């Protein structure tokens, strides 16, 4: 069969590449055409455009590149019609993908599958109307989404979470000891506090300085930053200053597997940290903290911002967000994680319960089998 996939960022490229490999196992004649990235290209098929040509984040960059964005959409729609695949598979990236879904539904008979649901439960819940109208089948990687969509009378497929697959594979293949990790990266012998300050420059600028101030209190530990892809060491160094902090790139899983605690900016990193069983505090600065706090109470639809708490449906990890993200609050929470054994143990037990809700590894394989059976 012919599969047309569309992703808009690095995480989508990763997840789509695993899905493509799983589809190939089930369908040896699988033919792929895609808007994607290098990982998808490695699986095989024809790349129409790299996601780097699609990914504009933030209001101003989007505004400045509107002509390019619309041109990409137009080209994509024409290409889908010309190739006439058996299915279009959209991966996250809702701003672009929901527009494509609307077109495909209205102008063709091609079924549209969505892998990794848009997070409309947090924001823009009105998009449910578009999803119900334009998406034939939706494949979720977050267990609480099933209930959300059932509330809207739209049944979906929960297939498991691909982050479980990635970490399970890493742990099976990586047997590095702490001593080897330290020697390999020329670190000190002290236990590690990991700093995961986000993947974008603005997140790093807003979060990292206060993270360093809070964690530097604990002199018996060494601070190690998980360097984000595409961010230069020089960018980090302007916020590190004279602090005794190291950066390592391309080794986030290695770092988490050797850390005693972590300060983490919200996102998939909070889930990864939990699956490595590292006690953490979630830290997310915003320049208009009180306004964001108001929005969280009155506008935003979810109780939590971290995936760990959303999946567990309770506060497993402390979330210091907007006006509550202060150096003192981070320092106090880190003290509990490092020195209160009962508090630490409660968090680790809650991680186990969260992992049970996620289910076992095998999300891409389950998604691929379901997709092919539906087609």
| All structural domains of the chain | 2-160+360-374 (3.40.50.2000), 168-358 (3.40.50.2000)
- Burial grade of 186 (CB within 10 A; 0-12, 13-18, 19 or more): exposed
pLDDT digits (tens, 9 = 90+) for 253-267: 999 999 999 999 978
Model pTM above 0.85 = yes
Average pLDDT of the residues in 47-61: 69
Q: How confident is the model at residue 310 (pLDDT cuts 50, 70, 90)?
A: very high
Q: What average pLDDT does the structure give for the chain?
A: 91
**Which pair of structure tokens corresponds to residue 4?**
């047309």
User: Average pLDDT, stretch 200-228?
Assistant: 95
Give residue 301's pLDDT: 57
Q: Determine the Cα–Cα distance for residues 365 and 375; give it in Å rounded to an integer.
A: 15
Q: Are 197 and 227 spatial neighbours (Cβ–Cβ below 8 Å)?
A: no
Which pLDDT belongs to residue 264? 97
pLDDT at residue 271 greater than cutoff 60: yes
Angle at 124 between CA 365 and CA 285, to 5 degrees: 90
Confidence of residue 298 (pLDDT cuts 50, 70, 90): very low
Joined tokens for residue 88: 């279009």
Place of tokens 């209160």: 340
Q: Over 50: is that where the pLDDT of 299 sits?
A: no
What's phi and psi for 23, nearest 5 deg?
A: -65, -40
Look at residue 4 and tell me whether its pLDDT is greater than 60.
yes
Token couple for 12: 């989508």
């Amino acid at each position: 069969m012919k599969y047309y996939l569309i992703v808009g960022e690095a995480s989508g490229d990763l997840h789509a590449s695993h899905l493509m490999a799983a589809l190939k196992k089930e369908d040896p004649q699988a033919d792929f055409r895609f808007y994607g990235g290098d990982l998808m290209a490695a699986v095989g098929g024809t790349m129409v455009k790299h996601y780097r040509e699609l990914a504009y984040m933030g209001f101003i960059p989007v505004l400045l590149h509107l002509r390019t964005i619309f041109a990409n959409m137009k080209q994509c729609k024409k290409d889908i019609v010309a190739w006439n695949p058996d299915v279009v598979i959209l991966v996250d990236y809702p701003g672009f993908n929901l527009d494509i879904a609307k077109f495909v539904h209205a102008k063709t008979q091609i079924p549209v599958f969505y892998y990794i649901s848009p997070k409309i439960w947090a924001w823009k819940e009105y998009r449910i109307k578009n999803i119900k109208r334009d998406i034939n089948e939706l494949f979720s990687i977050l267990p609480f989404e099933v209930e959300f969509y059932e509330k809207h009378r739209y049944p979906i497929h929960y297939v498991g979470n691909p982050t479980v697959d990635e970490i399970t594979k890493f742990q099976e293949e990586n047997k590095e000891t702490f001593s080897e990790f330290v020697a390999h990266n020329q670190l000190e012998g002290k236990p590690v506090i990991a700093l995961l300050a986000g993947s974008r420059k603005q997140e790093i600028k807003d979060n990292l300085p206060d993270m360093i101030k809070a964690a530097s209190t604990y002199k018996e530990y060494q601070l190690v930053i998980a360097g984000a892809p595409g961010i230069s060491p020089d960018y980090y160094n302007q916020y590190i200053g004279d602090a005794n902090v190291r950066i390592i790139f391309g080794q986030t899983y290695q770092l988490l597997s050797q850390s005693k605690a972590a300060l983490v900016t919200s996102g998939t990193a909070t889930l990864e940290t939990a699956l490595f069983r590292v006690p953490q505090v979630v830290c997310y600065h915003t320049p208009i903290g009180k306004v964001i706090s108001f929005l969280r109470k009155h506008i935003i639809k979810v109780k939590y911002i971290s995936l760990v708490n959303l999946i567990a449906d309770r506060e497993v990890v402390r979330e210091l967000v907007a006006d509550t993200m202060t150096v003192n609050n981070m320092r106090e929470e880190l003290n509990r994680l490092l020195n209160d054994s009962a508090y630490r143990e409660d968090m680790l037990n809650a991680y186990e319960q969260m992992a049970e809700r996620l289910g076992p590894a095998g999300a891409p394989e389950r998604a691929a089998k379901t997709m092919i059976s539906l087609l």
